[in-house]
Structure 1
């Protein structure tokens, strides 16, 4: 088409560049988009670009450790660029206690923390980080099979918590029923609206405590909680 005009990407309005770059992954923004031109680099350095950090699908267990180190370095860089404005972060596989501490020290406004299958995050590391995140409203943990989780301390540290999702978290290779998690939730998290306890070992006693002490609860997911009996006696 002879009359077609070439687009100068550098001259796009900042608002449009911002919308385009938000569609890119964190690695693409850090490694590629910021090098396109000065205007794109300027937008990439805007703290508003880093209010949400999505770091899922960054690798698998079969990949080399240097890949995980690169992912962690990118995550730290993104946290730095947020300049304390980070509100939501989602990390899969490569998280560590050290990275979590780094995030907590620089992101006191964080509201959503989602961690999936991060074998190098311990219960103590999580607790130390969460105690600094007093504005946290959403905490999701998935596939932490051998984590000792101090839910009572987490509840006391995060009075604004509205969503808690625990997907196969804890020593669930044991065969004994246990209501410790449920009772801690009932005791310290009265403001919960959404609760997911997949694979937990709670019994009817723990379930009743949650129902009685969490009056705002709207969503309750108890899949694979084998010690609960909802059949009337």
Structure 2
């Protein structure tokens, strides 16, 4: 977010009466001070910034921004999938999920995180984010038993991504379908390596057909299913509009197209992979192990008092109690460098 925010004269924020809401630019036009925007509006803006900047830079700009970041306004949608793919320590993912879900105050509508490391963390999400409509947890280490236990608390989920979750199977799928009655989208894409010790997944196809009749969008790339299993799904999920079968080599897609001409079928013979390489695999040619540690080391900020902004702490009050307040304050934001937008916030240029 490039730009300059200035406050010329007037009372400093937080003093209540006499607070200056409007300012004047050099060309004589008025503008509204950034710190005076409604928290909801600031939250919408901050969601467009990289995660690192939201957590470690914005809270240091001013107290009002710190309160927005510490509250639920920025965390109604939690998308840390790219960040989580870079983490080598599962506990870092756990601490980040607990931090952000806790800040959402139960208002989170979407969570996207790769590699949940354990069942208790999945239970924590279900207990503290019951308004979830979209749940994307690919490559997670969750079990059938925990899904059966917590699925009743995820009844508002309409889209579910459990790709490459190798420890769950038909039991978990049936639990999701039985309790998430509004589920219209399912992504269960596997990697061929995930299926090295499996013969087939017809039981999972049967669970989908039996418990998810309202599906409209289904991705089941590289699952070990045959034409008969897919026909069972189509027979029960009559509202299905899109079916991704890339890599399902035992399925006769021509037969499916003849039987269901209105259905959009992708695959099974498509050159492009429907499973994604991890973010780190794509960048491994550019970084050594030492560089990687530097890139993600900021993730340890949760336990570092120098990085964590505690609203109302004595140190923070001392910073803002000086005589100048926000008078003549000039704040500049610099875009990230590196290899592209994906690295924004990880390789900042020095301030002039």
- TM-score normalised by length of structure 1: 0.84
Question: Which region of structure 1 is more displaced relative to structure 2, 166-175 or 212-221?
Answer: 166-175
CA contact (8 A) 2:116 2:122 kept: no
Any stretches of 5+ residues in structure 1 without a counterpart?
none
Greater relative CO (CA pairs within 8 A, separation 6+) = 2
CA contact (8 A) 2:44 2:74 kept: no
Specify the alignment match of 1:206 in structure 2.
Answer: 229
Q: How many Å apart are 1:92 and its aligned residue?
A: 1.4
1:35/1:91 Cα in 2 relative to 1: closer, same or farther (>3 Å)? same
Specify the alignment match of 1:123 in structure 2.
Answer: 144
More strand by share: 1
Which whole-Å CA distance do the structure 1 matches of 2:129 and 2:235 have between them? 34
Tell me whether 1:86 sits opposite 2:85 in the alignment: no
1:109/1:32 Cα in 2 relative to 1: closer, same or farther (>3 Å)? same
CA contact (8 A) 1:168 1:199 kept: yes
Question: Which region of structure 1 is more displaced relative to structure 2, 145-154 or 201-210?
Answer: 145-154
1:186/1:128 Cα in 2 relative to 1: closer, same or farther (>3 Å)? same
Q: Deviations over 1:68-109 (max 9, x none)?
A: 323321221111111111110001135421211111001111
CA contact (8 A) 1:146 1:169 kept: no
Q: How big is the alpha-carbon RMSD for the aligned residues of Structure 1 and Structure 2?
A: 2.6
CA contact (8 A) 2:188 2:219 kept: yes
Larger radius of gyration: 2
Q: How many Å apart are 1:198 and its aligned residue?
A: 0.9
- Aligned partner of residue 147 in structure 1, secondary structure: coil
Specify the alignment match of 1:38 in structure 2.
Answer: 63
In the comparison of the two structures, how many residue pairs are matched?
Answer: 224
For residues 1-233 of structure 1, the aligned pairs below 5 Å read 7-8=6-7, 11-14=35-38, 17-60=42-85, 64-65=88-89, 68-118=90-140, 120-150=141-171, 151-168=173-190, 172-174=195-197, 176-231=199-254
Which whole-Å CA distance do the structure 1 matches of 2:83 and 2:105 have between them? 23
CA contact (8 A) 2:108 2:132 kept: yes
Question: Which region of structure 1 is more displaced relative to structure 2, 204-213 or 170-179?
Answer: 170-179
- Aligned partner of residue 206 in structure 1, secondary structure: helix
